[in-house]
Amino acid sequence: MDKRGGKGRQKIEIKLIESKEARIIAFSKIKNGLGKKAKEYSNLTGADIGFILFTQAGKPHSYGSPSIEKVIDKFHELKQNDSLRNHTDMSKTNVFEAFEDLHKEVQAFKEK
């Protein structure tokens, strides 16, 4: 076996990147990596996937497979079906409400 003197991949502390420029670069790289993994997951499993990210300045970025609009519409359908069944699971209702609020904010931002 080949023994190398390096330490291999190092763990880094997860904390806010202080340099604004470095933070912007990291956001872009992580966003692209997340999109790549989401696409991979969708292709392998056939799952519908969507995510929305906001920069520190408030600019939204989204990814959806097949599209973010279709994923959101499917989510709304599930929400309506869930409310018709009158579930009492409050945590699920709160998630749906939070997502609906987020969806409205994204729509308002897109209209600007």
Residues of the chain with pLDDT under 50: 1
Give the contacts of 52 (CB within 8 A, at least 6 positions apart).
60, 61, 62, 68, 102, 106
CA distance 65 to 38: 8
CA distance linking residue 31 with residue 63, whole number of Å: 9
With CA atoms as reference, report the closest residue to 65 among 51, 82, 83, 85.
51
Residue 65 is classified by DSSP as: E
Burial of 94 (0-12, 13-18, 19+ CB in 10 A): exposed
Instruction: Quote the pLDDT of residue 84.
Output: 64
Return the pLDDT at 5.
63
Q: Give the model's pLDDT for residue 38.
A: 93
pLDDT at 36: 94
pLDDT reported for residue 112: 66
